[in-house]
């Protein structure tokens, strides 16, 4: 896991969602999480199904936010779990060893330890900066990435108000993926926005950083 971790906004317009997502894939987005907190079940199934096909076309993994039943029904590539969602242990039992399971750890190394021990595939930390989409206290310390990388062999994902500029120090600290919503989906040029995030990881690869 490496690069831009794209997260969908709460858009009901499926065609617009697909257009912008495809543009981001052309810009190098490495992974997609379908997240629509207010969608009715029928719309959620419609959008997730359409995005799964797009992900298959571009050979990108599709992660479903929160909804284990939807993940199972679609045979998506994995699920992302928040602090109040289905536990990692239960999700792993339901999905098996081959699927990706991400866990929101916010600013807590204790949550990261529990998620790692329960079978998570990656650890997500944040928010680091104010977000136009998600409302939370901006309390995550940047050095949590360094601590996490020293403590667990799992990929670290950073989220929360991410731009290519403010994400750069976190990538330099070892973050494997940068999760973004508004910086891509609300951009006038989503492909260019995705390419700017991708460039952070290309630069790290060229420098030989791990």
Domain boundaries, the chain: 3-207
pLDDT of residue 206: 67
48: left (phi over 0), alpha (psi -120 to 50) or beta: alpha
Catalytic annotation present for 149? no
What is the distance of C-alpha 170 from the center of its chain?
Answer: 15
Q: Active-site residue among 26, 44, 92, 134?
A: 134
pLDDT tens digits for range 147-201? 999 999 999 999 999 999 999 999 999 999 999 999 999 999 999 999 999 999 9
pLDDT category at 203 given cuts 50, 70, 90 is confident
Bridge-based pairing state of the strands 62-65 and 100-106: unpaired
pLDDT tens digits for range 114-159? 999 999 999 999 989 887 766 666 678 889 999 999 999 999 999 9
pLDDT of residue 83: 76
Using the predicted structure, report yes or no on whether residue 209 has a pLDDT greater than 60.
Answer: no
pLDDT of residue 164: 96
What is the distance of C-alpha 172 from the center of its chain?
Answer: 18
Q: For residues 94 and 118, what is the distance between their CA atoms, to the nearest angstrom? A: 13
- 5 strand-pairing partners: 31, 179
pLDDT of residue 137: 64
pLDDT tens digits for range 70-108? 999 999 999 999 976 679 999 999 999 999 999 999 999
Average pLDDT over all residues of the chain: 93
What predicted TM-score, i.e. pTM, was given to this entire model? 0.94
Rounded to 10°, the helix 88-95/109-118 angle is: 30
CATH T-level assignment (fold) for domain 3-207? TIM Barrel (3.20.20)
Catalytic annotation present for 134? yes
Q: Active-site residue among 60, 104, 183, 187?
A: 104
* Contact yes or no for 60/31 (Cβ under 8 A): yes
Q: Active-site residue among 35, 99, 149, 204?
A: 35
Catalytic annotation present for 182? no
pLDDT of residue 64: 98
Provide, rounded to the nearest whole percent, the portion of the chain with pLDDT above 70: 92
């Amino acid at each position: 896991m490496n690069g831009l971790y794209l997260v969908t906004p709460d858009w009901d317009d499926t065609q617009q969602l697909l257009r912008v997502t495809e543009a981001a894939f052309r810009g190098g987005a490495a992974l997609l999480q379908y997240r629509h907190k207010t969608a009715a079940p029928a719309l959620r199934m419609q959008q997730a199904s359409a995005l799964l096909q797009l992900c298959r076309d571009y050979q990108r993994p599709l992660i479903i936010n929160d909804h284990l039943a939807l993940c199972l029904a679609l045979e998506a590539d994995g699920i992302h779990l928040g602090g109040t969602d289905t536990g990692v242990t239960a999700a792993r039992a339901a999905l098996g060893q081959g699927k990706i399971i991400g866990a929101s750890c916010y600013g807590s190394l204790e949550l990261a330890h529990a998620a790692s021990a329960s079978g998570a595939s990656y650890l997500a930390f944040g928010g680091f900066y104010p977000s136009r989409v998600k409302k939370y206290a901006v309390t995550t310390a940047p050095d949590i990435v360094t601590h996490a990388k020293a403590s667990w062999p799992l990929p670290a994902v950073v989220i929360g108000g991410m731009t290519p500029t403010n994400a750069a120090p976190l990538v330099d600290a070892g973050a494997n993926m940068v999760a973004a919503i508004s910086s891509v989906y609300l951009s006038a040029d989503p492909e260019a926005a995705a390419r700017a995030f991708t460039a952070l990881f290309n630069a790290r690869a060229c420098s030989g950083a791990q």
